[in-house]
Structure 1
């Protein structure tokens, strides 16, 4: 009976890993769509969101069956409940990447944002690309140290997000009102991607340690 349970639990973990990989690709693709006006990348992200949704449904169904049939306790219960939460988080991240891609597709072939935003949004996307890669390795290895880096480093993205408001209100702004609306929404989507990555990282730390970490988990000074 335990062998069957472990096999089923591994299948759930494999599906969750696939979700993380799909979300990572979606984040990278959404960045290409936005910053490079790559309409093919945008369409790939939009189409790929269906697979992320399907994986979430599969993970939920499998977890419910495990809870109903196996009545797990202790660590097993923590893993299954956390897996449910992680699948919902990844599904939402896929939606946010799709929103970015849809905005880029809507404005194609024109750039979505004016030139003065390019550097700031490039920095935000580079941060998200790094975070997306970290998510995949964190989940596959159940790496609490990588999870803690995601949590701590999120402040960098928050600071970049705040700069978008300053830019919108500055004399440097040359874009249209529609571009200003798009910029504010896109920046919010990107900031929320970071927040969801933090949520996923906190959940992985919980799986590994049994403790819910704070915004700034205790540990050695990275410097």
Structure 2
């Protein structure tokens, strides 16, 4: 009975890891659609979002069943609770990729981004996808050190996001209000995507250590 229970816990982790792959692929394609004004790729991201929603529902259903039927304690309980929260973050990451794809579709056939900021979004997209793929590995391995490493990559996205505001506030910004609004919103989507990837990693730290980074003494270095 206990062996079957732990198999179910492993299956739950596998589902979360698969969700990480889904949202990484979604943001990779959404960024491609954004940079290339590729309507077909944008439509693919939009149609595939339902699969991410279904994956979250499947994770939550299994997690709640484990809570109800197995009454887990200690590390097992933390694993189930972390899975519920991680599935929520991963679904939100999928939603953020969806928003990027919808922006590309909304402006098609015109490009969304002025040439002046394309490089920033190409870099944020690369980092965001890398964070999601790192989150997949953290879910699989529960490697606390690897989980902490996501923070530094997230800082890079934050730095680019902040720099975008200096670009937009420049008196010489020549692209008008609509472009400034698009850039502001899109920058926020990438910044939040990265934050959610870090949140997933922090949930795995919680599974291993019993503490959420940032919520207890001694967590400042995490």
Into which bin does the TM-score normalised by the smaller protein fall?
A: over 0.9
TM-score, normalised by the number of residues in structure 2: 0.92
Q: Which residue of the partner structure matches residue 99 of structure 2?
A: 99
Please say which of residues 115-124 and 90-99 is displaced more in the overlay. Answer: 115-124
TM-score, normalised by the number of residues in structure 1: 0.92
Q: Which residue of the partner structure matches residue 17 of structure 2?
A: 17
* SS of the residue 1:12 aligns to: helix
Q: Which residue of the partner structure matches residue 76 of structure 1?
A: 76
CA distance in 2: counterparts of 1:199 and 1:69, whole angstroms: 27
* SS of the residue 2:76 aligns to: helix
CA distance in 2: counterparts of 1:31 and 1:164, whole angstroms: 17
Matched, 1:41 2:34: no
Matched, 1:175 2:181: no
CA distance in 2: counterparts of 1:118 and 1:94, whole angstroms: 22
CA distance in 2: counterparts of 1:121 and 1:55, whole angstroms: 28
| Residue-by-residue CA offset, 1:34-79 (whole Å, 9 max, x unaligned) | 1121222211111111011001111111111111111110110010
Q: Which residue of the partner structure matches residue 4 of structure 2?
A: 4
CA RMSD in angstroms, aligned pairs only: 1.7
The alpha carbon displacement at 1:144 in A equals 1.8
* SS of the residue 1:83 aligns to: helix
Structure 2 unaligned residues grouped into runs of 5+? none
CA distance in 1: counterparts of 2:122 and 2:171, whole angstroms: 21
Structure 1 unaligned residues grouped into runs of 5+? none
Q: Which residue of the partner structure matches residue 162 of structure 2?
A: 162
